[in-house]
Amino acid sequence: MASAPGSSTATSPAHHTPSNSDIMSVLKCLEVKLDKVESRLQKLDLVEKKVLSFEKDLKLLTVQVHDSNKGFDQRMTDIDERVNRFEFISAEYQSRIDELERENLNLKDKVTYLESQSMRNNLVFGGFPEESGENLEDKFRKFLVKDLKLAQNIVDSMKLERIHRMGVPSSDGSQRKRNFVVKFTFFSDRELVRRQKHLLKETGFLLHEQFPPEIAARRRKLMPQLKEAIKDNKRAWLVYDTLYIEGKPVKCN
C-alpha cells in the first residue's frame, strides 16, 4: 500500500503495558505505606487516649484539690473559732485572776493592819544580857527607873500584859542578848516609855515599836529618806508605813 504524499515513513513507538510483577511491586509498596499510616494512626489513637485519660485524671485531681481546700478552709474556720473561744475564756480567767490577786492583796493588807493593831501597845527592847532563871519583868522595871528616868511610883503603877524574849534560846549555852517584847495594858503607858527613847543613845540598849514584818520592811526602806530629811533640818517622822516630811506623806512602794 502506497504512502500518502508528505507523510512520514517512520512508525510511532508501541505503548508499554505493565506486567503483573510491576503491578505486584507497586501494590506491595502501597501496602507498606498503608501499614505505616495505620501504625501512626494507632499511635495517635493511643496518644489521644492517654491525653483523654490525663484530662480525666486532671479534672478528678482538680475536684479533689477543690474539695480538699474546702475541707481545709472549714478546718481553719473551726480552728479560728476555737482559738477565739479560747482567747475569750483565757481573758475571762485572767480577769478573774487579777481580781482575786487584788482581793488577796486587800486581805493581806487587812490582816497586816489587824496584826499591827494587836501590836499597838507593844515595844521591843534589846541589849539586855540573858540570865538563867531571870525575872525579866523585874529587870525591865528597874531599867525604866534607872535608864529611862521614870518615877518609881509611875513604873510601879504600870500594868504589863506580857513580857517575853524573842527567838529561840541558844542551844550551845553561849550568852546571848535576845530582844524582848513588852505588851503594855494601856497605850498611854507605852507612849510614856517610848518618848524616853532619846535617853538610850550610846548606851547599848535599844527601844522601838513592834510592827508586822511587812510594815517593818516598808519602814526600813523609808529610813534613808527620813535621815536625809532630818539632816536637811526638815520636820520628818514615821507613822506606821508612811513617812511625813514637812507634813507631806511619802509612802513606800
Distances (CA, A) of 86 to 81, 182, 207: 9, 57, 57
pLDDT value of residue 75: 83
Q: What is the dihedral of CA 28, 34, 40, 46, to 10 degrees?
A: -120
Q: What is the pLDDT of residues 170-223, one digit of tens each?
A: 666 556 789 999 999 999 999 999 999 999 988 989 999 999 999 899 999 999
* Residue-wise pLDDT tens digits, 124-167: 999 988 888 889 999 999 999 999 999 999 999 999 999 999 98
Shared-domain flag, residues 155 and 183: yes
How many whole angstroms separate alpha carbon 55 and alpha carbon 46? 14
What distance in Å separates the CA atoms of residue 71 and residue 74, rounded to the nearest whole number?
A: 5
Let me know if residue 234 belongs to a domain: yes
Tell me the pLDDT tens digit for each residue of 1-49. Answer: 444 444 444 444 555 677 777 777 877 787 777 777 777 788 887 887 8
Domain limit, last residue, from 83, 102, 119 = 119
Residues 149 and 134 in one domain: yes
pTM higher than 0.85 for the full model?
no
**Helix/strand/coil for 117:** helix
Domain membership of residue 244 as a residue range: 211-253
CA-wise closest residue to 183 among 158, 156, 163? 163
Q: Are residues 181 and 197 located together in one domain of the fold?
A: yes
- Report the greatest alpha carbon distance in the chain: 200
- 21 in any annotated domain: no
Whether 194 and 218 share a structural domain: no
Number of domains in the chain: 3
